[in-house]
Amino acid sequence: MSTFVVVGGDAAGMSAASKAKRDNPDVDVVVFEKGEWVSYGACGLPYYIKGEIQSLDDLVSVTPEEFRQERDIDLRTGHEVVDIDPANRVVTARSADGEVTQAYDHLLVATGAEAVLPPIVGLEREGVYTLGSMSEGKDLREYVGRARSERELQQPDRGPACQFLETCHGPVGIVGGGYIGVEMAEALAANGFEVHLFQRGDRILKQFSEETSESILDHLGDQNVEVYLGAAVEELAGGDRVEAVVTDDLRVPVEMVLVGTGVRPRTALAADAGIEVGETGAIATDAYRETNVPDVYAAGDCAEAEHVVTGEPAYVPLALTANRHGRAIGQTVAGTPTKGGGIAGTAAVKAFEMEAARTGVLDDALAREVGFDPMTATIEAKSRAGYYPGGGTVQVTLTVDRPTGRVLGGSLASEFGEGAVHRSHALVGAVTEGITVEELSNYDLAYAPPFNTTWDPVLTAAKVVEGKR
Amino acid sequence: MSTFVVVGGDAAGMSAASKAKRDNPDVDVVVFEKGEWVSYGACGLPYYIKGEIQSLDDLVSVTPEEFRQERDIDLRTGHEVVDIDPANRVVTARSADGEVTQAYDHLLVATGAEAVLPPIVGLEREGVYTLGSMSEGKDLREYVGRARSERELQQPDRGPACQFLETCHGPVGIVGGGYIGVEMAEALAANGFEVHLFQRGDRILKQFSEETSESILDHLGDQNVEVYLGAAVEELAGGDRVEAVVTDDLRVPVEMVLVGTGVRPRTALAADAGIEVGETGAIATDAYRETNVPDVYAAGDCAEAEHVVTGEPAYVPLALTANRHGRAIGQTVAGTPTKGGGIAGTAAVKAFEMEAARTGVLDDALAREVGFDPMTATIEAKSRAGYYPGGGTVQVTLTVDRPTGRVLGGSLASEFGEGAVHRSHALVGAVTEGITVEELSNYDLAYAPPFNTTWDPVLTAAKVVEGKR
């Protein structure tokens, strides 16, 4: 009989808890979660705010009650773990009822990530939102609902985003051009807001290839989103409420601002307990996701993991990794030591009527650091047979190591529904297995006219890169 | 200065001709094609007959004139090669103008495949069609057009397929439940015909998993296609014109019959010249697609190639392989010896509002023959996040080698647009690289709510199979 204690009840924590209990019912599983929600799909929040999902409850895959009743997990919501004592194998948690201590045999730190707030004046003003939690999602949706009702009673002043809409609201500002910024631009525009997006760097979606970024940027323009590149926001100006986004040379009036400038791992609890934090700033783990402290694991948005291309630790806080590594830890704790596999940095995003995915290493500097000599090429190809009705264009960027031809990374973009994201599945295998671009070009991928050209765009990209190498 | 002679001007032949000339303009390239069409997309014929493609010319990617003028290829249509003399490196071709001989340094045999006609009485009757060539496609489309015009002048007798259609024609019969049979069921039903499909075996699409076959079969039923399994057609009865499809216990009145019962490689020309034909019945080649006769290559629907899973020669006559191997031969002939890669037996099909793909080895007997101990499992999973609007179900079958966990093959089905086919890209890499199902389950595949669940259905299938192993 052993006790497995989990700190944090989202993807990594609940995957580990569920798997440990399922594989070995003799393990006592205790989960401390400081909030009230567990196992929620934060990735769905933009679609909740957009209005495509009616209730926050729809984002919850398993309720606290189900974890307790059906999965026999001692889930304690409203409990924040404030101390880990590895020497005595005890954690201390604080709740409204005071402090409790809990002994453990195995411990998982799954404390997640928190929003990085840039040094901007006025972040505290009313009307400034972030989107890191379910309750923040709720607040933002309430704002959207209120703004819509109020505006529907007035004659709106129509801005550029509104020309095709019956009702128009806003203008609103988004600070940050990453996943959240782009997804929220869609969500807010769909609700009739005039959207202004401020990106400090020189392109949006910087994890993707430059060409993918450019394609999505063009599309945002087509959708009447005003994007400002190289725009470092200095102030969210106003009185009690935010009234304008201010950069060194711009002052854009807004009624609301969403700040989505990335996240950083929550590591303080672990670091205080002597658990090692790696160079990425996230908790360091081995292939079993065990930390430097025996029997203490870390996974999800607070932890780093080895990258399948570089072999080095990387920090890529995304949902699948949290689930996968949580599950592997659960299996290990249940008695079967299990590696969860490395990460390829794969990610997907929908932006209005486009989709994009990326995997592996696309950054030349990073590739050179680990000894590769990267080269990159981008192609555009039809998404279906040229004679087949409908269809669009798939843009594929491949980065390879010039001397060996090894595929290091890829980035794809297409119209929504034209398959950029699912096609990236081919590239994940390529970067994970370390195959060459010539080998990839010889893959016997599925073909039929409604789905691609005889050479799928992925193969065309591989041929082109191989030819230039 | 050398001469490269190509016999047959479709995918393999024209890919080789084009690549050889592009890579080395000093090579003289002569192509003999017995018909008038070259480089045509026969895969598009069902969509031409359906009416989604307006002209046969749309199926032609490069015209004869373009090959001659822009690519500097000596393309001789209307020339049938009747003899290959390897000892003297000369071929003889026959045209309306008589016979010509042509010397070669390198030769490619790309004679393609021909329809297998089963031993059925009455195949010669009017109204019996096959779909192996452009001209047959033209004939069938003309029939469809005529039938529609005639019927539109009458009150149709409405059959089961017609209940939702304004106009209804037919009934018509399809003999064969492979790709052509299924695609043509869609094409004919879309034109208002009542479709009866006769399959000799106990399931349709027998290259796919049983579960995929079953899903598509159910869907054909939903689309009012009458499918007869275990129905060996004995006679296409009638007078001058076909009037009924007859099996040992059925007689179904029809106005037209399409026979789509597979193809066999055209090998007589090669065999007569001493070129070796393999056990599959197709021309045997090495990794460079060279036959047993030096400097004589074979590729496309007349040739076999090594299977990436079994390592044994296999015959899978599909478009991508023809293109890929033709291109590799062209590159070899131009001076850079190039292997075109093996085949995984990957294929895709659209059937009304469903799509399916398969790759690798799904047949237990074949797997055992080469020393594997196969086991198979099938899962069904949501195609998008459960809370995301729309979406459907992806069914994934995986066959693995039980002792090692190696992924041998996969089969997927989903609603059209829900990604079964593009998701198969992940499995092609898995079977080609020989990875285990546990490794596959740890792949860092792209995830976002509009595209999949956190664990893509492919990963869920891998987890389930690994759990059962």
Q: Which domains does chain A have, with CATH numbers?
A: 3-35+59-113+264-334 (3.50.50.60), 128-259 (3.50.50.60), 353-468 (3.50.50.60)
Chain B residues in contact with A320 by the CB 8 A cut-off are 444-445, 447, 454-455, 459
Residue A168: what pLDDT? 58
In this predicted structure, what is the pLDDT of residue B285?
98
Judge whether residue B314 has pLDDT over 80.
Answer: yes
Which residue from A349, A443, A451 is facing B429, i.e. has the nearest CB? A443
What pLDDT does residue A132 have?
86
Residue of A nearest to B321 (CA): A444
pLDDT value at B153 more than 70: no
Contacting residues for A258 by C-beta, under 8 A, at least 6 apart: A129, A130, A131, A140, A172, A173, A174, A175, A180, A181, A184, A188
Q: Residue B461: is its pLDDT beyond 70?
A: yes
3-state secondary structure of A366: helix
Which of B421, B428, B458 lies at the smallest CB-CB distance from A443?
A: B428
- Asked if pLDDT for residue B152 goes beyond 80, the answer is no
Q: How many CB pairs under 8 A join A and B?
A: 224
SS3 B172: strand
Q: Is 0.85 exceeded by the ipTM?
A: yes
Q: CB–CB of A444 and B419 under 8 A?
A: no
Q: How far apart are the CA of A341 and the nearest CA of chain B, in angstroms? A: 5
- The confidence score (pLDDT) of residue B137 equals 95
CB atoms B47 and A348 under 8 Å: no
Least confident range from A146-155, A266-275, A377-386, B210-219: namely A146-155
A11 contacts in chain B (CB < 8 Å):
454
**A422–B417 CB contact, under 8 Å:** no
What's the mean pLDDT in B342-359?
98
- Structural tokens at position B258: 């399409």
Contacting residues of B for A342, CB less than 8 Å apart: 442, 444
Does the distance separating the beta carbons of B58 and A442 come in below 8 Å? no
The residue of chain B nearest to residue A430, with distances taken between CA atoms, is B429
Angle value at C-alpha A248, between A242 and A250, nearest 5 degrees: 60
> Which of these, B40, B20, B215, lies nearest to B131 by C-alpha position?
B40
Residues of chain A neighbouring B187 (CB-CB closer than 8 A): none
- Token reading at A262: 């990335």
Chain A residue at shortest CA distance from B322 = A454
Phi, psi at B334, each rounded to 5°: -75, -10
pLDDT at position A157 is 52
Residue to test with chain B: of A323, A396, A441, A442, most B Cβ within 10 A: A442
CB contact under 8 A, A446 and B429: no
Do residue A388 and residue B346 have CB atoms under 8 angstroms apart? no
Q: Where are the alpha helices (DSSP H) in A96-203?
A: 134-152, 179-190
* Residue in A closest to B434 by C-alpha: A433
What pLDDT does A449 receive? Answer: 97
Least confident span in A349-358, B23-32, B85-94, B155-164: B155-164
CA angle A453–A455–A457, rounded 5-degree value: 80
| Inter-chain touch A417–B417, beta carbons under 8 Å | yes
Whole-angstrom CA distances from B448 to A52, A106, B455 are 15, 31, 10
Extract the tokens encoding B61. Answer: 């990617």
Q: Would you give the end-to-end CA distance of chain A in angstroms?
A: 58
A308, A422, A443 member nearest B422 (Cβ): A422
Q: What is the mean pLDDT of residues B51-57?
A: 93
Is A320 in contact with B445 (Cβ distance < 8 A)?
Answer: yes
| Predicted local confidence at residue A41, as pLDDT | 78
User: Which pLDDT band holds residue A435 (cuts at 50, 70, 90)?
Assistant: very high
The answer on pLDDT for B165 being more than 60 is: no
Whether B164 has a pLDDT exceeding 90, the answer reads no
Check CB contact under 8 Å for A425 and B421.
no
Question: CA-to-CA distance for A198 and A118, rounded, in angstroms?
Answer: 13
**Counting beta carbons within 10 angstroms of the beta carbon of residue A311, is it exposed (0 to 12), middle (13 to 18) or buried (19 or more)?**
exposed
Distance CA B240, CA B255 (A): 12
Closest-CA distance, A396 to chain B, in angstroms, reads: 15
Structural element, H or E, at residue B89 = none
Is residue A165 over pLDDT 60?
Answer: no
pLDDT at A149: 81
In chain A, the residue whose alpha carbon lies closest to the alpha carbon of B339 is A442
Mean pLDDT in residue range A251-260: 97
From the CA of A156, how many Å to the nearest CA of chain B?
30
Q: Among candidates A444, A405, A448, A412, which has minimal Cα distance to A428?
A: A412
Note the Cα A142 to chain centre separation in Å: 23
Quick check: A448 and B417 CB within 8 A? no
pLDDT-wise least confident of A56-65, A166-175, A302-311: A166-175
> DSSP per residue over B369-386, as a string?
HTT--EEEEEEEEESS-T
Among A103-107, A122-126, B160-164, B173-177, which is the least confidently predicted range?
A: B160-164
Residue range A229-248: average pLDDT?
97
Q: In chain A, which residue's Cα lies nearest the Cα of B389?
A: A52
Q: What is chain B's mean pLDDT, rounded?
A: 95
| Unique residue bearing structure tokens 């799509």 | B355
Compute the nearest-CA separation of B281 from chain A (Å): 21
Q: Is the dihedral of CA B96, B98, B103, B109 positive or negative?
A: positive
Determine whether the interchain pair B421/A345 forms a contact, defined as Cβ–Cβ distance below 8 Å.
Answer: no
For residue range A184-210, list pLDDT tens digits in order: 999 999 999 999 999 999 999 999 999
CB contact under 8 A, A421 and B323: no
A164: pLDDT confidence band, cut at 50, 70 and 90? Answer: very low
Rounded-to-integer distance, Cα A116 and Cα B36, Å: 66
A328-348 burial, b at 16+ Cβ within 10 Å, e below that, comes to: bbbbbbbeeebbbbbbbbbbb
- Quick one: pLDDT band at residue B191, thresholds 50, 70, 90? very high
Contact A444 B416 (CB under 8 A): no
Q: Are A387 and B308 a contacting pair at CB < 8 A?
A: no
Checking if the pLDDT of A89 tops 60, the result is yes
- How far, CA to CA in Å, does B452 sit from each of A145, A285, A353, B379, B460? 28, 28, 17, 15, 11
CA–CA dist B374, B364 (Å, integer) = 6
Q: Could A444 and B423 be called an inter-chain contact, meaning their C-beta atoms sit closer than 8 Å?
A: no
Q: Model confidence over B214-265: pLDDT tens digits?
A: 999 999 999 999 999 999 999 999 999 999 999 999 999 999 999 999 999 9
The catalytic site residues of B sit at: 43
By C-alpha distance, the chain B residue nearest A427 is B426
Nearest to A433 among B422, B433, B449 (CB): B433
CB-based contact B43 A343, cutoff 8 Å: no
How many angstroms separate the Cα of B284 from the Cα of each of A29, B15, B359? 60, 20, 22
pLDDT value, residue A408: 98
pLDDT of A344 reads 98
Residue bearing the bigger pLDDT, B397 or B39: B397
Contact predicate A247/A234, CB 8 Å: yes
Amino acid at residue number A101: T
Identify the pLDDT of residue A163.
Answer: 46
Is residue B166 pLDDT above 80, yes or no? Answer: no
At B434 the three-state DSSP class reads: coil
Residue B441: list chain A partners with CB under 8 A.
341
Report d(CA B52, CA A390) in Å as an integer: 10
Mutate to test the interface with A, among B444, B454, B458, B469 (most CBs of A within 10 A): B444
Residue A436 has pLDDT above 70, yes or no: yes
- Spatial contact of B47 and B58, defined as CB atoms under 8 Å apart: no
Instruction: Tell me which chain A residues have a C-beta less than 8 angstroms from the C-beta of B52.
Output: 388-389
Give the tokens for residue B282: 């197709």
Which three-class secondary structure string do you get for A121-147?
ECCCCECEECCCCHHHHHHHHHHHHHH
C-alpha distance from residue B265 to each of A346, B129, B185, B270, B281 (Å) = 42, 20, 25, 11, 7
Q: pLDDT tens across B120-136, in order?
A: 999 999 999 999 889 99
Residue B209 one-letter amino acid? S
Q: Which residues of A touch B324 (CB under 8 A)?
A: 442, 444, 455
pLDDT band of A434, cuts 50, 70, 90: very high
Mean pLDDT of A72-89: 98
Is A302 a known active-site residue? no
Which string of b and e fits B274-306 if b means at least 16 CB within 10 Å? ebebbebebbbbeeebbbebebbbbbbbbbbbb
What's the Cα-to-Cα distance from B19 to each of A173, A238, A303, B323, B326, rounded to whole Å?
A: 52, 65, 49, 10, 8
CA nearest to B179, candidates B433, B424, B356: B356
Rounded mean pLDDT of A69-89? 97
pLDDT at position A152 = 63
Average pLDDT score over residue span A447-468: 97
Mean pLDDT in residue range A232-253: 97
Find, in chain B, the residue whose alpha carbon is nearest to that of A411. Answer: B446
Closest Cβ opposite residue A320 in set B385, B386, B447 = B447
Q: From the list A59, A416, A425, which residue is nearest B445 (CB)?
A: A425
Q: Which residue of A has its CA nearest to B349?
A: A448
Does residue B86 register a pLDDT over 90? yes
Mean pLDDT along residues B83-105: 98
CA A71 to chain centre: 28
Contact list in A for residue B318 (CB cut-off 8 A) is: 447
Contacts of A47 in chain B (CB under 8 A): 387-388, 449-450
With H, G, I as helix, E, B as strand and everything else as coil, classify residue A177.
coil
Both tokens assigned to B427: 């499995």
pLDDT tens digits, residue range A313-322? 999 999 999 9
Query: Which of B345, B349, B442 lies at the smallest CB-CB distance from A340?
Result: B442
Distance from CA of B460 to the nearest CA of A (A): 11
In this complex, do B449 and A424 lie within 8 Å of one another by their Cβ atoms?
A: no
Give B303→chain A minimum CA distance, Å.
16
Average pLDDT, chain A: 95
How far CA B31 is from CA of B6, B13, B61, in Å, comes to 5, 8, 17
Cα torsion through A442, A443, A448, A454, rounded to 10 = -20
Which residue out of A454, A455, A469 would a mutagenesis test of the B interface target, given it has the greatest number of B Cβ atoms within 10 Å?
A: A454
Chain B residues within 8 A of A52 when measuring between CB atoms: 388-389
